[in-house]
Amino acid sequence: MTDDLSFAYHRLKRAAFGLPEVEEGTSYGAPALKVRGKGIAVVKGPDTVAVMVALDEKEMLLEAAAELYFETPHYHGWPAMLVRIRLISDEELAHRLRKAWLLKAPKTLAKKLPAP
């Protein structure tokens, strides 16, 4: 991993701490976090990560917090949104990753996740 992506990746890993069976990996060559092989977040650049999100929630977040969340044409209509990793708080990032984890984790595993 190049140093310019390290900050973003370390923030993701720290925010995902405690989520069961989160594994480090790659997605199209970029550093990523997965649960049982399914991606929950990927580093897109030194200042940007993509996090999985339900489409209805994505639209709401894009409107409510445009300073944190955005999309490019590539992500339009896709259940992932881009996050400005240097602006999002630790608490919000952890919340977003928890929700992404719940979207991708098998139901039997998701039942084991303690309440926040």
Q: What is the pLDDT of residue 114?
A: 76
Provide mean pLDDT across the span 5-27. Answer: 96
pLDDT of 1 above 90? no
Number of domains in the chain: 1
By percentage, how much of the chain surpasses pLDDT 90? 91
Residue 113 resides in a domain: no
Question: What is the full DSSP assignment across the chain?
Answer: --HHHHHHHHHHHHHTTT-TTEEEEEETTEEEEEETTEEEEEEEETTEEEEE--HHHHHHHHHH-TTTEE--GGGTTSSEEEEETTTS-HHHHHHHHHHHHHHHS-HHHHTTSPP-
Mean pLDDT value across the chain: 94
- In angstroms, the first-to-last Cα distance of the chain is 31
Asked whether 44 and 50 are in contact (CB, 8 A), the reply is: yes
Token pair 């900050």: residue: 7
Residue 41 resides in a domain: yes
pLDDT of 12 above 60? yes
Domain that holds residue 95: 3-107
Question: What is the number of other CB atoms lying within 10 angstroms of the CB of residue 79?
Answer: 16
Residue 77 resides in a domain: yes
Residue 115 resides in a domain: no
In this prediction the pTM is 0.93
CATH number at residue 13: 3.90.1150.30
Calculate Rg over the CA atoms of the chain: 13
